[in-house]
Homo-oligomer: A and B are copies of this chain.
């Protein structure tokens, strides 16, 4: 085997490449939770995110949700339309700026949010249980930094 050929066998390991690892972990960890909101409520990923934002923070505009979760406005727009159609949220024009509308969950939307929150919390606990408390806390911190959320 020549030196050139040895060179081909490189040491780069995909299984250590952070963007790849993050994607694999994100995809894998989304699966179980996705099963719930998708099969049980016919929801899409952006939809539960919007629902959660409203459930957690109360009244928000589409723009605000988009900024917080870094979701493009067309995605938000379509998710909001679907959630409104299913009577999970209500839109009211903002009288101070009539271009935007304030979004709030309906009682049904809130009920669904609360159910999903339960599932989310226990799933999160299940994932965190793979590590010690300190490790899990560190992981969350590191992910927030990678996500430029801090």
Q: Taking beta carbons and an 8 Å cutoff, which residues of A are in contact with B?
A: 8, 10, 12-30, 33, 49, 52-53, 55-56, 58, 69-70, 110, 117, 120-121, 123-124, 127-128, 130-131, 135, 138-140, 142-149
Please tell me if the beta carbons of B25 and A140 are within 8 angstroms of each other in the complex.
Answer: no
With A29-B146, A117-B12 given, is the CB distance from A22 to B19 under 8 Å? no
Q: How many copies does the complex hold?
A: 2
With A124-B18, A146-B25 given, is the CB distance from A13 to B56 under 8 Å? yes
The closest CB in chain B to the CB of A7 belongs to B114
Please tell me if the beta carbons of A149 and B24 are within 8 angstroms of each other in the complex.
Answer: yes
Bound: A146/B144 CA distance, A = 16
Specify which chain B residues have a CB less than 8 angstroms from the CB of A149 in the assembled complex: 15, 21, 24
Instruction: Kindly identify which residue among B19, B123, B145 contacts A130, using a CB–CB cutoff of 8 Å.
Output: B145
Specify which chain B residues have a CB less than 8 angstroms from the CB of A29 in the assembled complex: 18-19, 22, 146
Bound: A101/B35 CA distance, A = 34
Bound: A140/B53 CA distance, A = 29
